[in-house]
Amino acid sequence: MKVKLSRIFMYIFLSVAAFLSLFPLYWTAVSATNTTPDILAASMTPGSQLIANFTRLLELSSLGRAFWNSARNAVLLTALSVSICSLAGYAFEVYHSKAKDRLMSVLLLSMMIPFAAIMIPLFRLMANMGLVNTTLGFMLPTISTAFLIMLFRQSTRSFPREMIEAARIDGLNEMFIFIRIYIPTMKSTYAAATTITFMAAWNVFLWPRIIMMSPDSVTMPMLISNLMAGYVTEFGVVMLAVLIATLPTILLFLFLQRYFAEGIMGTVK
């Protein structure tokens, strides 16, 4: 009887947690189909203004350009960041030394520095390098992060060293071992790192707002901010833009979710 009661309470708790997690997405989707008065009246039912809101969104903003800029920036940054950080994490653990431990400690300390403290020096550096309004200027400050290096380093600790030694005995070079043995074995960690990096790159607002000065460089978070900056805010249009901006990260997480938990825990199969 106690087991049944505990199971019932567990299901109730999980149901409430699922509802609280999914309700903001439902509210956004419903609001995207309603007018501003309906949204302010807290309407919980879908409306008939989806096409009208989408047409108005195209009139007020360059939706296609903003979506392409966000997708390009996020994909390029994710690919480069995961590649570089995985190489660094692999090297930190496989070629372990006390000097590398001290260097890793310095990298971890850098996570405590808020971005606002380095924002102005970063912009001046990018300006001196001529990288303002460029994709490279957007990517360079976050192309390698201490968190991802630590994630790959911790996961590499559970990587079978016997596989590396056997490959070396067979005469394989280190890069071949990394590409053909390490990467396929660590796919769960790569999935977790890809999800985290893509979501961060897609949703980032402050740095693109500073480094991307051209109207042609607007991203989805910047587009949503611009829609909210007018004298009159059309909330149905804003909610539709938020819904469109949310879909890529949701689809990526659903596609990689089976590996995500394993990658965060650092397990290797």
**Parent domain of 188:** 63-213+243-268
204 assigned to some structural domain = yes
Q: Closest by alpha carbon to 57, among 42, 67, 45, 47?
A: 67
pLDDT of residue 222: 92
* pLDDT, average across residues 173-196: 88
Question: Residue 269's pLDDT band (boundaries 50, 70, 90)?
Answer: low
pTM: 0.87
pLDDT at 82: 94
Do the domain assignments include residue 82?
Answer: yes
Contacts of 69 (CB under 8 A, 6+ apart): 217, 218, 219, 220
40 located within any domain: no
Domain count, the chain: 1
Helix or strand or coil: residue 221? helix
For 82, other C-beta atoms within 10 Å of its C-beta total 21
56 located within any domain: no
Query: Span 92-113, mean pLDDT?
Result: 85
Q: Would you say residue 22 lies in a domain? A: no
Work out the average pLDDT over 58-84: 93
**pLDDT tens across 68-77, in order?**
999 999 999 9
* 99 falls within a domain: yes
pLDDT band (50, 70, 90) for residue 1: low
Q: What is the pLDDT of residues 232-245, one digit of tens each?
A: 788 999 999 999 99
* pLDDT over 90 (residue 167): no
User: What residue type is assigned to position 241 of the chain?
Assistant: A
CATH of residue 83's domain is 1.10.3720.10
Q: How confident is the model at residue 221 (pLDDT cuts 50, 70, 90)?
A: very high
